Every structure is written in C-alpha cells, then in structure tokens.
Amino acid sequence: MQSLEKIVRNLGRSVLGLVLALSALASFAEEFKRPNIVFIFSDDHAVQSIGAYGSKINKTPNIDRLAEEGGIFLNSFCSNSICGPSRASVLTGKHSHQNGFYTNGGGTKFDGSQMTFPKLLQKSGYATALVGKWHLNSDPTGFDYWEVVPGQGSYYNPDFYTSAGQDNMKRYEGYITDITTDLGLKWLDERDKDKPFLLMCQQKAPHRTWAPNLKHLYNYDNAPVPEPTTLFDDWTGRSNTLAGNEMSIKDHFIYQWDMKFQERVPFANDFESRLNEPEYPRMTPKQQSVWNAYFEPRNAAFLASPPTGKELVRWKYQRYIKNYLRCIDSVDENVGRVLNYLDENGLSENTIVVYSSDQGFYLGEHGWYDKRWMYEESLRMPFLIRWPGKISSGSRFPQLLQNIDYAPTFLEAAGLEVPREIQGESLISILEDPDTDQWRKYVYYHYYEHLTEHGVPRHEGVRGERYKLINFYSNDGWELIDLKTDPNELVDVSGDPEYAAVLDEMKTQLERLRSQYQLPDHAESATH
C-alpha cells in the first residue's frame, strides 16, 4: 500500500493540475470571449461636420471620443450614395446589384430572406436589436427585438412600429434622436444578460428637413458658420450633366419645407413653394410656442428686407447649415449617452462601438446640398471604431474602406466564418496590422436612380488613392479627376493628353472591378 504521505502528495499534484487546467481554460475563454457590438448609424452625416475629421464648422466631442479611444478610417466610402441601398449594403456586405436593393423609389423592397450579418450573429447566440430608421420597405429580420419608424420617420413626436405592423404604430412625445436612444438603452437593460449582443441604433438625423431639437435652436446664433470655398461654383467648363442638377442652395431650397417658414414667401418661384414644413403640424402647442419664438422674428426680419443675389444664397446657406449642425448636436449628445451607459454598466471593455452614416452630404460645397453623386462630399462616409485591447488609442487608418466591409468585420470579430457570397473584406487584418499593404487599392461605386430626385443621372466609377474615374453611361460621359492636384474636383482631365495613360489604367481597373463583383451590363442596370 502507498504511504499516507505519498497519497497526499499525489492528490496535491492532481488538484494542482486541475487548477492549472481550469485556469488555462478560463484564460482561453476570456481571450476568445465574443465582443458585444454597438453600431450607431446616422443619416446624411457629412465627414466635414465631425471634429475628428477636421471640421471647421462644429464640434462633436462624443463622436470624437471614439477616434481618441479607438481609431478613425480616413478614407471610408459608400457603394451607392442613397439611404436604402447603403443600408442594404451594410446588412449584406454586398453591392446593390447583388443584394437586390438599387434605389429608394419604385416600390423596391429589401429581400429580408437573404443572408445578413445580424441573422448570422443571432443564429450564433447573439441577442440582437434594431431601433430607429430602417427605410428598406420591408420588415426587419434577424432581430430579437426591433422598433423602427415608417419611411423617413418624423423629428417630432415620431411614430414607431414593431412586428405587430404599421397598423399598430405607437407615437412617442419628444424628439426622435433622444427617443431612438431611449429605446436602445431600454433594450440593453432588459436583454438576456447571458448572451453577447448586437445593438443597431439608427438615427434619422441629420436627414432633411433638418428640424433641430428645441433645446438646440439657439446654437450657432452668435456668428456665421464659415462658407465652403466652392459655395458659388457654377460648374463652368464641366459636364451639362452637372449643370442640370436640382440640388442647389441658390435655386432648389423650399422656403416652407427647408427654410422653416410657416407663411408663404411672396417672391418664391413654383419650385421653392411646393411643400409645407412637415414637422410643425406634429408638434404640441407647447413645442410650437418654443419653435415660433425662435423662427417667427427671424423670418419676419428676412421678409421685411429680403436679400438678393449672392447675399440671398448666403442667407439660405446659413439657415440650412445651422439647422443641420443643430441636428448633429443631438446625434453627438446621444452618442455620449450610449458611451456613458456602457461605462456605467461595465460593458465598455468588451464592446465594439462603431459610428457611421449611410453616406456623405453636401454642406454648400459647389453650391449644393444632398448626396447621390460620386464626388467626395457625397461618396465619403464616417467610420470611427473603438475596441479596447484590439485598437490602440488614436489610431488612424488610411486604407480604402467601403460599407460592404462592415458585415464581414462584425462576423469575424464574433469568431464566425465569413460567407463566400459576401463581397466586402473584413477589417480585422487592418486593425491587427495598421501598416499592412495587403488591402484593396480601388473601390467601386454605382448610383442607379436616373434623373428622379435632384436631377442626378445613373453613373458608376472607380476611386483609387489618387485618381477617380466616373462614367455617366446614360449619356456616355467620362470624368477623370486628379485628387492630389484638384482636391475640390473642379477640373475634368479625361481629355488631357497628359493623363491618357492614367485614363486607360482607370478604365482597366473599372472593368476589373465590374468583373470581380459580377456586374450586369449597363442596359440591364438601367432597368433598376
């Protein structure tokens, strides 16, 4: 028989081994613990109005916090600069021609039966939720809980609906940016705490008609917002395609709808008078009184002595940009609420937080508002990401990112295999090695609506690190832009003999991407 001493010694070794094994297992589990994901998505938020991107017109301290504590992608682009199609690309990791959602109009509905990253996360054990703007003309799928606004939604006292249907909408009193965040934080409180989670918090703001929260009405009143250097660009020497636009601050703002007039403006043309302000009738009498106290005296002063010519354009720009920035003030404020919630509930360390928007937006550049075009203000979209322990504070990533990359990134971060049908690339390799050169050098863009909203034609193109090629294939027009020498995109060099080799190379790259992404021919594209 073994001595008592030996038995005790062997037992001790066994216990020690078990402890070490359990410790190693715990360490392994902790190392591969799946992160939570909070995806904050705004609408039409231009990078030139975000502090971390160098804004000279406003401050966004809470959004900037993500760049300070994580990283910022400096060259982030959409694949189709319009609300619904961009959202479809985010969900699927595919270009419009592959996910089937090409345009906002025409009765198109997003096919919710197809693969999306929330579905795959849900299937793998994630708790999933979506709140806010959806705008895909079908009910969300892949979410344990969702509560969304119909269509564009309303800024004031908005209606939301759930799986019970749009016939059972609930109206919340208050401001939509606050309410959307309220719903998201409420779900975080009530979720299954044993599961990792995905929360998609999708804001309406700062989408047109730029109706600010009442508490922000007086922001920016002390001084004019700086004008863009190209505010009075008349597109001299450029394509007739551009000159035919219907998105100029000079000619296409609607006084009642955009400029916050309740009364008719006597000198407005038919275009400028066609719609009434949609938010005012939704307000309570108390809300209307605060609104009136701000806008009525300012509108009266304008009508008593209306400016003309360039001064009228300047007045319209100031009215527009200040309301736009006030909407962003609410977005930034609510980003702060989400970050504070994560901090206060011990969730920050294992949560990926992303802030992005569905596309860029014109803030008076080239005399324009809106989006749709492949030019930089419209093409660029913000992407800021915080992932403690994975992304060094203050990281700046120069690589060419596109919204088809979001889905594979979230899937790989969750430890899931990325389906081969996804056309985007996971950003994990960049996050792990910011200096990697193993990344795409060109991105593909395609806008499918044709002369419907704002007079923008169909077009496609390719953007590299220096050059951009646009093909307005409906009227056989090419544009080549040298972004290094012409960052404001004022000169088309497609006909310059010195750029002949560049033009050929960019056409080659365009055809390469068309083949890679399995694009149909232009005749078929024109049917969507």
Using CA atoms of 222, 223, 224, 228 in order, give the dihedral in degrees to the nearest 10. Answer: -120
Lowest mean pLDDT among 73-77, 81-85, 276-280, 330-334: 276-280
Instruction: Work out the number of other CB atoms within 10 angstroms of the CB of residue 297.
Output: 10
Mean pLDDT of 34-38: 98
Length of the chain: 528
Share of the chain above pLDDT 90, in %: 83
For the record, the structure tokens of 37 come out as 């994901």
Report pLDDT digits (tens) over 153-180.
999 999 999 988 888 999 999 999 999 9
Report pLDDT digits (tens) over 210-231.
999 999 999 999 999 999 999 9
Please report the pLDDT score of residue 12 as a whole number: 53
Crossing angle of helices 309-344 and 176-190, rounded to 10°: 10
Residue 1 clears pLDDT 90, i.e. is over it: no
Averaging pLDDT over each range in 23-37, 235-249, 360-374, which range is the top one? Answer: 360-374
Using CA atoms of 102, 105, 111, 112 in order, give the dihedral in degrees to the nearest 10. Answer: 120
Lowest mean pLDDT among 44-58, 236-250, 337-351: 236-250
Q: Residue 3's pLDDT band (boundaries 50, 70, 90)?
A: low
Contacts by 169-175, CB closer than 8 A, 24 or more apart: 173/284, 175/213, 175/214, 175/330
For the record, the structure tokens of 149 come out as 């606004």
For the record, the structure tokens of 357 come out as 């928007």
Going from N- to C-terminal start, the domains of the chain cover: 33-211+330-436, 214-227+243-318, 459-525
Q: Which of helix, strand or coil describes residue 327? A: helix
Give residue for tokens 């993500």. Answer: 66
Q: Is 156 exposed, middle or buried (0-12, 13-18, 19+ CB in 10 A)?
A: buried
Instruction: Work out the number of other CB atoms within 10 angstroms of the CB of residue 208.
Output: 19
Please report the pLDDT score of residue 263 as a whole number: 86
Q: CB–CB of 467/479 below 8 Å?
A: no
**Percent of the chain that is helix, strand, coil (3-state, to 5):** 40, 15, 45
Tell me the C-alpha to C-alpha distance, in Å, between residue 162 and each of 170, 297, 452. 9, 41, 31
Please report the pLDDT score of residue 132 as a whole number: 98
Please report the pLDDT score of residue 67 as a whole number: 98
Mean pLDDT of 266-295: 93
Please report the pLDDT score of residue 9 as a whole number: 55
Instruction: Assign domain 33-211+330-436 to its CATH superfamily.
Output: Alkaline Phosphatase, subunit A (3.40.720.10)
Q: Residue 451's pLDDT band (boundaries 50, 70, 90)?
A: confident
For the record, the structure tokens of 419 come out as 């389906």
Please report the pLDDT score of residue 524 as a whole number: 65
Mean pLDDT of 133-148: 97
What distance in Å separates the CA atoms of residue 122 and residue 37, rounded to the nearest whole number? 12
Residue 22 clears pLDDT 70, i.e. is over it: no
Please report the pLDDT score of residue 277 as a whole number: 86
CATH class given for the domain over 459-525: alpha beta
Q: What is the pLDDT of the chain when averaged over all its residues?
A: 92
For the record, the structure tokens of 386 come out as 């915080």
Q: How far apart are the first and last CA of the chain?
A: 86
Q: Residue 526's pLDDT band (boundaries 50, 70, 90)?
A: low
Report pLDDT digits (tens) over 482-521.
999 999 999 999 999 999 999 999 999 999 999 999 999 8
Residue 355 clears pLDDT 60, i.e. is over it: yes
Contacts by 219-222, CB closer than 8 A, 24 or more apart: 219/322, 219/325, 219/326, 219/329, 220/58, 220/322, 220/325, 220/326, 221/322
Please report the pLDDT score of residue 231 as a whole number: 97
Q: Residue 23's pLDDT band (boundaries 50, 70, 90)?
A: very low
Please report the pLDDT score of residue 28 as a whole number: 38
What distance in Å separates the CA atoms of residue 388 and residue 506, rounded to the nearest whole number? 39
Please report the pLDDT score of residue 323 as a whole number: 98
What distance in Å separates the CA atoms of residue 395 and residue 414, rounded to the nearest whole number? 21
